[in-house]
Structure 1
Amino acid sequence: MTRSDLVEKLSEKFSSLTKRDVEQAVDIIFDEISTTLAKGGRVELRGFGAFSVRKREGRMGRNPRTGETVTVPAKSVPFFKAGKGLKDRLNQK
């Protein structure tokens, strides 16, 4: 599902809202999640999962094309852990 698919689905479900209003709401939600993660925070959506930030240490890597050793700097990466409700829904048969 893409962002536009999500907006379309929500527009159908909430027909009293315009497509533009739904698109703004989706943008605000994603922006708030991104902003919170950028500040090092955590976002938990009960029954769905939790977004957090993990730190990766710097390391020595290898350029696959040339075989040359390169330094990979430390960085922060987003991490998602699925909640119980999502796991249960995925494993229904």
Structure 2
Amino acid sequence: MNKLELIEKLKTEARITRPEAVRIVNLFFDEMSYALSQNDRVEIRGLFSMFLKNYESYTGRNPKTGEKVTIQPKKLPFFKAGKELKDRINSKK
């Protein structure tokens, strides 16, 4: 499912207009992005949690030339599936 499919599903299920559905979905993603940018954890119980992991600087290699390059420190979002999501994915129907 992509963002447009989510918007269409929300529009249909909630019986709202497309612009309203777009606004709701964008608000949801914007708030999650803002929370992560503030180094806050995002958690939706039973579904998932997301938080930032800090990675230190390290020496890597350019795959084309083999030259050593320094990789700058960075933060990346880390996604962890919740127990109920795992159970639902692995359940037999």
Question: What TM-score does the superposition give when structure 1 sets the normalisation length?
Answer: 0.96
- Give the number of aligned pairs: 92
Question: What TM-score does the superposition give when structure 2 sets the normalisation length?
Answer: 0.96
Q: 1:40 offset after TM fit, Å?
A: 0.5
Secondary structure, counterpart of 2:91 in structure 1:
coil
1:14 matched to which residue of 2? 14
- Pairwise mapping of residues 14-93 of structure 1 onto structure 2 (< 5 A)? 14-15=14-15, 17-93=16-92
Gapped regions of structure 1 (runs ≥ 5): none
Give the Cα–Cα distance (whole angstroms) in 2 for the partners of residues 78 and 89 of structure 1. Answer: 23
Q: 1:47 offset after TM fit, Å?
A: 1.1
2:5 matched to which residue of 1? 5
Gapped regions of structure 2 (runs ≥ 5): none
The letter for the 2-side match of 1:92 is S
Q: Percent identity?
A: 45
CA distances 1:22-73 after superposition (whole Å, capped 9, x unpaired):
1100000000000000010001101101010000111000000001000000
Q: Which runs of 4+ in 1 moved over 6 A?
A: none
